Amino acid sequence: MDVAFIGIGVMGSGMAANLIRAGHKLKIYTRTKAKAQGVLDLGAQWCPDIKTCVTGVQAVITIVGYPKDVEEVYFGENGIIANAAPGTYLIDMTTTAPALSVRIDAAAREKGLLALDAPVSGGDTGAKNGTLTIMAGGDRTAFDACMPLLEAMGKTIRYTGKAGSGQHTKMANQIAIAGTIAGVCEAIVYAKAAGLDVMDTLATIGTGAAGSWQMANNGPKMAAGDDKPGFYIKHFIKDMDLALEEGKTRGQELPVLSLVESMYVGLMENGLGEKGTQALIARYEKGTP
């Protein structure tokens, strides 16, 4: 398919590269062209603006930072909805507010466009390897038609329901991650204090009931002091804020999520927002608030 890809960052670069390798033709737009050089080297076409990028394509994929960025790229006279041709598939893979995904879906329908909210999980490793979990909500026809695109980027691909359902599924994902990553941190600092070989401990307990993606992937990074971002702390805080807000609208109490978010906010306030989520270990090892 001919695809416009908007947002070439830590996640988008790997996802766009896998689309090209799968035979899709990409036009790309991102605020900083230098970040897209790797994808350009694979044959993608650079576009100077959104209007140029979405002209003449069958599908538009976006993965940007925050809800305000999603608003900016989709709405307004220079946005995707105003400039994409009728029949184009719109796939927003950003983690954003479910209500915003519902708005995009409604606006898209008015213009003869078909929209999906399809956030992902799996970090930069999953993006590079094409093994992301993709949680899609919105138009079922669009989901079926865009399966070749989704399969180029992900391994577990699920249709979750009407517009906004993909985002709600991602909220549940982030809620589960918050408690898990904190638990891995606490297991590591306990193992160190007990004089255990931390890597051996992770290898041992990771094969039992305590095993998780976070333990297998971020646990060794924590133990080695590797805080390079596979997923930024600043973006995880955004996701947790969204989940807490959604919970609040339903009268739900999410105490574990609230506690973990407060620890991450402390890291952010100490200048660690650009670090990977595994840097939560600093909260325990260095006493960062």
∠ CA 101-106-109, rounded to 5°: 120
Consecutive H or E run containing 68: helix 67-74
Measured CA to CA, the distance from residue 100 to residue 96 in angstroms comes to 7
Cα dihedral value 44, 49, 54, 55, nearest 10: -100
User: Would you call 202 helix, strand, or coil by DSSP?
Assistant: helix
Would you call 66 exposed, middle or buried from its count of C-beta atoms within 10 A (0-12, 13-18, 19+)?
Answer: middle
Is residue 132 a contact partner of residue 155, using CB atoms and an 8 Å limit?
Answer: yes
Question: Is 155 a catalytic site residue?
Answer: no
User: Would you call 133 helix, strand, or coil by DSSP?
Assistant: strand
Can you say how many angstroms the Cα of residue 229 is from the centroid of all Cα atoms in its chain?
13
Look at strands 59-62 and 132-138 and give their pairing.
unpaired
* Marked catalytic residue, from 170, 228, 238, 275: 170
Q: So which residues are the catalytic ones?
A: 170
